[in-house]
Amino acid sequence: MRKGLFWTLFIFLSLVCFSFFNTVHAEDFAPGRVIPKLPKTINDPVLTDGKVYPFWGPLCQRYTYSVIYSDKNGRPPQYIQIYFNGQMINMEKEDPNNADYQKGVKYIFQNVPTKYGSNFYYFEASNGLGKARASIIDSPDNGPVLFDSDFKNNEIVVINTATGKVLWRYSTGAEWVGAVALSNNGQFLAAQTSNHVYLFNTQSNKPLWSYQNPNQASIGGDVKGGVAISADGKQIFAAFYGQALYFHQESNRPVWSYNLEPHGGGAYGVDISQDGLHAAIAMAGSESDQNTNVLILLDQSGQKLWQYHASGNWHEVSFSQNGQFLAGSTGCPDRRGYLFSINSPTPIIRSEPLSQESPIDEARISQTGSLAVYGAESGYGAIILMDQKTKKIVWKYDTPMKQSVRALAMTPDAKFIGAGTFGGDVLLFQKNSNQPIEQININSAIGAFDLSDNALIFVTGSADKKVRIFHQGENRVRTTIPLNEYVGEIDVSANGQYVAAGTSGAVYFFESIIDLNNFQNLQESTCAQIIEPPPENTIMNNQDNINQPVRNDDRIERDSFAWPIIILICIATVLLVLLITYLVIPRIKKLRAKKDVS
């Protein structure tokens, strides 16, 4: 009887463990979790150009997921499937008559979302001998990004902080504002949109000049380019997809341009030193391509001084005020904070990974480069202060609910550090402590934050389409200014006199709209009418992937195991305890009996 019970428990426990550890399929994982990698063979087919079109937009629009299947020997696929929010779904040929598998055949899957939330996906195919995947490295891609706005009314706004009044607005229409940058005295404002660079005097909404991108990049996406301005406003540095441009204040004609195509084309951000002598570009790209995913340093004549490749996209670059150092941060799988001297591509600081699964989105540096601060996101939200001399973390602050930090600032003297989180927390610190001296919640995701050089004024921009001005010590919102769209860019002049703001959805990519604005009661849409987007081949035929979100080596969403797996683990644990108890107690009784006899 005992032996029979023992073997019953043993076999059942073995089956539970075997099923968990050896037959875990993609669909057994929660949608955003890390997926086990496929073994590689010489017979594997190839999947390329995996994407979703459009990659952002509203509910009730038709979105097309597509991938190109090819096989070097022309073998047809046994299956081509899309992993879509935990389910494996068969895909169909876009052209049923195309059978040129050696050249490549496009497969599609279409979906009309009816509720807000993330949509995780990747592609998988087999030719019977090998398998391949696309749109995944560790975790599935995420798209489309769903917004409750069409972003047709974007604008650049300048605000007087003393009065809290809007000085002027400048409409950019459908073009997203990628960056705004004020000169130190607040006299000049540089702004970059999807296809334009502008220079303003802050007293007028009539541009001093504007430059139009001749290549006409598509609108939208998180790889947005950027703009920066020297302290005196005399030099402006900007990036679109494929090119970086250096301007003098007097003219919209670039002094020089730098070709970004060999480096992957897409920049997350740029910066220029206060004296205008150096410029830097934070590039997206591929882990395997040593010429992409690079941080590039240029001199004032456009000559490349050096570049540094990381395994993850470069999300941020920031010069110290003295122009001798720069800080940067990377996405997955690298997830590190960096600090460089302008004299060498060898990092002074190359931190350990600052999160387990999520990018380090923000980086700021003190005026002498002695301190740098970094912001982590997506379930590992934190602010991390590091010291150049020791190369160690001075302190770390985990944000409430580990919400993303995509908005971060530090005063030049490093006495104050401020941040905004996607949980709506406005945080202000002194450098000697990770305990906030001010903490205010505005109940909306914060995508932009900046403060004056003395930290007496700090400002946020958020997903509820508002700019909020705070004064240190008041622990409340002093002024609220409504804008037309999500506020994605903020810059405060060094003297605190002016605030420049720009609207876009770029910084809010890959976060659910439900989280962004604390919507708790969003109902599923009935979609009385399905929106048909323009055919993909009519949108920038020669630039199909411009600004396509760079996700396959980037933000890994954090999620928990599916409930069935948790239940299996619990059952296995209980049975293991019972099995140990069953084996141990009889032995103890026998030992006691022997002891009593003796």
400 and 427 in contact (C-beta within 8 Å)?
Answer: no
Q: At what angle do helices 563-597 and 2-22 cross, to 10 degrees?
A: 150
Q: Name which residue leads in pLDDT, 531 or 572.
A: 531
Find, among 429, 403, 499, the residue nearest to 459 by Cα.
499
pLDDT of residue 557: 35
Residues of the chain above pLDDT 70, percent: 82
The reply to whether omega before 534 is within 30° of 0 (cis) is no
For residues 445-449, average pLDDT: 95
CATH code for residues 154-516: 2.130.10.10
* Residue pLDDT, tens place only, 219-245: 888 889 999 999 999 999 999 999 999
Closest CA to 378 of 148, 519, 551: 551
- For residues 396 and 215, which has the higher predicted lDDT (pLDDT)? 396
Fold: same for 30-146+523-538 and 154-516:
no
Does residue 590 carry a pLDDT above 90? no
**φ and ψ at residue 519, rounded to 5 degrees:** -75, 120
Whole-Å CA distances, 143 to 121, 309, 406, 423, 558? 8, 27, 19, 21, 16
Per-residue pLDDT tens over the stretch 489-512: 999 999 999 999 999 998 888 765
Give me the chain's average pLDDT, please. Answer: 87
Q: Does residue 550 surpass a pLDDT of 60?
A: no
253 vs 523 pLDDT, higher one: 253
Q: What is the token pair recorded at 467?
A: 């700019």
Whole-model pTM: value is 0.80
β-strand pairing of 145-146 with 56-57: parallel
How large a percentage of the chain has pLDDT more than 90?
Answer: 71
Supply the pLDDT for residue 191.
98
Distance of alpha carbon 300 from its chain centroid, rounded? 30
Amino acid at 387: D
**Mean pLDDT value of segment 207-227:** 91
Structure tokens at 292: 């992409």
CA distances from 256 to 188, 282, 299, 459 (A): 21, 18, 11, 34
- What average pLDDT does range 572-592 have in this prediction? 62
Instruction: Determine which of 50-64, 127-141, 446-460 has the lowest per-residue pLDDT on average.
Output: 127-141
If DSSP codes are grouped into helix, strand and coil, which group holds residue 226? Answer: strand
pLDDT class of 560 with cuts at 50, 70, 90:
very low
DSSP tag of 400: G
pLDDT per residue as tens digits for the range 120-131 = 999 999 999 999
Render pLDDT for 309-355 as a digit per residue (tens, 0 to 9).
Answer: 999 999 999 999 999 999 999 998 999 999 999 999 999 999 999 99
Half-sphere exposure of 479 toward its Cβ, with a 13 Å CA cutoff? 16
Domain limits of the chain?
2-24+562-597, 30-146+523-538, 154-516
Q: What is the pLDDT of residue 591?
A: 58
- pLDDT classification of 289: cutoffs 50, 70, 90: very high
- CATH superfamily of domain region 30-146+523-538: Immunoglobulins (2.60.40.10)
* Pairwise pLDDT comparison (176 vs 215), residue with the higher score: 176
Strands (E), 377-507: 382-387, 393-398, 405-410, 416-421, 425-430, 438-441, 446-451, 457-462, 466-471, 477-482, 487-492, 498-503
Look at residue 179 in the predicted model and tell me its pLDDT. Answer: 97
Cα–Cα distance list, 125 to 81, 99, 190, 295 (Å): 6, 15, 47, 35
Q: Alpha-carbon distance 157 to 143, whole Å?
A: 30
Q: Which residues contact 403 (CB under 8 A, 6 or more apart)?
A: 381, 421, 422, 423, 425
Nearest-angstrom CA–CA distance, 392 and 22: 40
* 514 has a pLDDT exceeding 60: no
In this structure, are residues 311 and 334 in contact, taking their beta carbons and an 8 Å threshold?
yes
Sheet holding 325-330, edge to edge: 314-319, 325-330, 337-341, 349-350
pLDDT for residue 15: 47
Per-residue pLDDT, 148: 84
Radius of gyration of the chain (CA): 27
Residue 3 has pLDDT above 60, yes or no: no
Residue 111 makes CB contacts below 8 A (sequence gap 6+) with 62, 63, 65, 84, 119
Give which of 497, 561, 426 is closest to 187, Cα–Cα. Answer: 497
Among 285-299, 390-404, 544-558, where is mean pLDDT lowest? Answer: 544-558
pLDDT tens readout for residues 168-184:
999 999 999 999 999 99
Find out whether 144 and 539 touch, Cβ atoms under 8 Å. no
pLDDT of residue 21: 38
Residue 554: predicted pLDDT = 40
Average confidence (pLDDT) over 397-425: 96
Over 80: is that where the pLDDT of 153 sits?
yes
Q: Are 444 and 463 in contact (CB under 8 A)?
A: yes
